């Protein structure tokens, strides 16, 4: 079918009114009843009606102008998609069939300087071996797939190291050694414990246990250091004290120096992981109930250090 | 096997002067018959139709062709891979299919930044 604008003899910018007028004039002129002596009139009249049907519908006209549909109203196919195109058929059917690999993407001529030229074809086998471990190639012995399991480890087991028994998806139970200081996301590989290989001499895959560390109510980890929030009373913070604090290896006695501020970080040397330290972050806790003696003292107290702690705070 | 001279009957609108250039650039993977003439498979004929549509109907320039062709071929590479994976998935027991589909959906949601 030809360009509907040409058929009606109007420009692409024609208004709806111009199109309607052109259609009425041409329809009258080419109506088969008024042209019994012209056999081509009927085809002409049909073409005029079809052109008008397309262009008088604003939505269809817009789609035609954008090239989304052709003059017969059919969706315009993307390059290569023409079903039933005779011998050889449409490109899509071939390209999507397994033999389509004959035209696998590559750089075409010009030595690869074009934007498409540097593209390295990633073939299907590359993709598979990336997804299922190296050696998942077709033909010949195939290495078994790796089994990935999530291993939930209590905080202290990860810090101190531990042996845990885990049950695999296939029901086998195995012992896993969690190394001292294991971190979130550490992968423990059990070589040869994965899916069996296929074919003669094919090695089995591995078990990959991904460590997920459960949080601890007291301790946090910062590299090889262990952080602990340590509440102290107002009196302990001001006068200093010896307090018992938990560490990953059990409780130890720690000295709080006098005049320790909120948020001070006190270090327990060597009490972390592998030469790391434990760091106690002090949190000064105010007395819960009324303390008349303290109130009375503070009312009459003029600090020697009269500096303003908010000095320099300008937004 | 189809010879170049048969192509005129199969794809009349193909620019016959250009076809040998397509072969040289490997846009079209014709092979040599023992007598030295170029021969095409049925798939190659479909390729000629694609190249003709690009060069004649859509008027893609010779300079733009390598990029356009590479992109089209990459698209079909990807579609073949997806088809093969879907075909393999089809053969799996239902629980496996459901697990893989759920994981794939979760992934595509995450990539679109949805919760």
| Number of neighbours of residue A255 by Cβ within 10 angstroms | 9
ipTM exceeding 0.85?
no
Contact B73 A103 (CB under 8 A): yes
Order across the sheet with B31-32: list the strands. Answer: B2-3, B38-40, B31-32
pLDDT at A168 over 50: yes
Chain A, window 56-85: residues with a beta carbon less than 8 angstroms from a chain B beta carbon: 79-80, 82, 85
Report pLDDT for A219: 94
Q: What is the CA radius of gyration of chain A?
A: 41
Contact of B13 with chain A, judged by CB distance below 8 Å, is answered with no
pLDDT at A83 over 60: no
Residue B7: exposed, middle, or buried by beta-carbon count in 10 A (0-12, 13-18, 19+)? buried
Ramachandran class of A156: left when φ > 0, alpha when ψ lies in -120 to 50, beta otherwise: alpha
A34 vs A81 pLDDT, higher one: A34
Model confidence at A112, pLDDT cuts 50, 70, 90, reads very low
Contact B71 A127 (CB under 8 A): no
Report the residue from B44, B54, B77 with minimal CB separation from A79: B54
Arch. (CATH architecture) of A147-213? Sandwich (2.60)
- Residue B94 corresponds to which tokens in the numbers above? 């239902």
For A125-155, what is each residue's pLDDT tens digit? 666 666 655 544 455 677 787 777 778 888 9
Q: How far is CA A181 from CA A159, A224, A271, in A?
A: 4, 8, 13
Report the residue from B45, B66, B72 with minimal CB separation from A80: B72
Contact A88 B10 (CB under 8 A): yes
Report pLDDT for B32: 86
- Residue A106 corresponds to which tokens in the numbers above? 């590559």
Instruction: Looking at chain A, list the stretches that DSSP marks H as alpha helix, in order from N- to C-terminal side.
Output: 4-8, 16-30, 41-55, 58-65, 91-96, 124-132, 155-160, 234-239, 292-299
Element (H, E) at A111: none
Average pLDDT of the residues of chain A: 81
Of all residues in chain A, what percent carry a pLDDT higher than 90?
A: 25
SS3 B55: helix
CATH 2.60.260.20 fits A219-299, yes or no: yes
| Most confident segment among A88-102, A165-179, A273-287, B90-104 | A273-287
CATH 2.60.40.650 fits A4-65, yes or no: no
Contact B73 A127 (CB under 8 A): no
Report pLDDT for A114: 39
Contact of A88 with chain B, judged by CB distance below 8 Å, is answered with yes
Average of pLDDT values for A251-270? 94
Q: Domain-by-domain residue ranges, chain A?
A: 4-65, 147-213, 219-299
> CATH assignment of B2-111, given 1.10.357, 1.10.1660, 2.40.128, 1.10.3470?
1.10.1660
Report pLDDT for A315: 76
Report the residue from A89, A93, A104 with minimal CB separation from B77: A104
Q: Do the first three CATH levels of A147-213 and A219-299 match, i.e. the same topology? A: yes
For B11-55, what is each residue's pLDDT tens digit? 888 998 899 899 988 889 888 888 888 888 888 988 999 999 899
Which residues, listed in sequence order, are joined to residue A265 by a DSSP beta bridge?
A: A281
Contact B46 A94 (CB under 8 A): yes
Q: How far is CA A14 from CA A5, A6, A49, A56, A131, in A?
A: 9, 12, 17, 11, 57
Least confident of A12-21, A270-279, B1-10: B1-10
Report pLDDT for A118: 37
Give A101's contacts (C-beta < 8 A, 6+ positions apart). Answer: A123, A124, B77, B80
Average of pLDDT values for B46-74? 89
Min Cα distance A52 → chain B (Å) is 26
Calpha distance B56→B52 (Å, rounded): 5
Model confidence at A33, pLDDT cuts 50, 70, 90, reads confident
Average of pLDDT values for A246-265? 94
């Amino acid at each position: 079918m030809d360009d509907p604008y040409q058929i009606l003899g109007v420009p692409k910018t024609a208004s709806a009114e111009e199109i309607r007028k052109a259609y009425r004039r041409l329809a009258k002129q080419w109506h088969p009843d008024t042209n019994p002596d012209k056999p081509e009139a009927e085809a002409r009249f049909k073409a005029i009606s079809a052109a008008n049907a397309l262009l008088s519908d604003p939505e269809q006209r817009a789609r035609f102008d954008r090239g989304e549909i052709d003059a017969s109203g059919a969706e315009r196919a993307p390059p290569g998609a023409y079903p039933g195109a005779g011998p050889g058929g449409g490109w899509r059917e071939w390209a999507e069939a397994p033999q389509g690999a004959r035209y696998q993407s590559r750089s075409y001529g010009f030595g690869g300087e074009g934007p498409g030229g540097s593209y390295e074809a990633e073939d299907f086998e590359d993709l598979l071996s990336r997804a299922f471990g190296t050696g998942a190639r077709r033909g010949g012995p195939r290495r078994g797939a790796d089994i990935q399991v999530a291993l939930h480890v209590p905080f202290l087991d990860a810090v101190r190291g531990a042996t845990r028994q885990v049950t695999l998806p296939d029901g086998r139970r195995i012992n896993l050694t969690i190394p001292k200081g294991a971190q979130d996301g550490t992968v423990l590989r059990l070589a040869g414990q994965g899916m069996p290989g296929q074919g003669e001499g094919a090695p089995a895959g591995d078990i990959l246990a991904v460590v997920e560390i459960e949080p601890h109510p007291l301790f946090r980890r910062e590299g090889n250091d262990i952080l602990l929030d340590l509440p102290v009373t107002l009196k302990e913070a001001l006068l200093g004290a010896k307090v018992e604090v938990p560490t990953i290896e059990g409780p130890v006695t720690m000295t709080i120096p006098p005049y320790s501020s909120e948020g001070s970080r006190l270090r327990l040397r060597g009490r972390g992981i592998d030469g790391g330290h434990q760091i106690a972050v002090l949190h000064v806790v105010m007395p819960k109930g009324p303390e008349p003696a303290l109130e009375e003292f503070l009312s009459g107290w003029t600090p020697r250090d009269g500096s303003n702690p908010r000095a320099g705070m300008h937004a | 096997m189809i010879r170049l001279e048969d192509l005129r009957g199969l794809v009349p609108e193909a620019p016959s002067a250009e076809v040998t250039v397509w072969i040289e650039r490997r846009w079209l993977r014709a092979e040599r018959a023992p007598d030295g003439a170029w021969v095409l498979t049925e798939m190659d004929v479909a390729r000629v139709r694609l190249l003709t549509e690009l060069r004649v109907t859509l008027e893609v320039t010779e300079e733009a062709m390598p990029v356009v062709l590479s992109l089209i071929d990459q698209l079909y590479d990807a579609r073949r891979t997806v088809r093969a994976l879907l075909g393999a998935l089809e053969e799996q027991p239902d629980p496996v299919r459901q697990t893989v589909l759920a994981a794939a959906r979760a992934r595509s949601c995450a990539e679109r930044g949805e919760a």
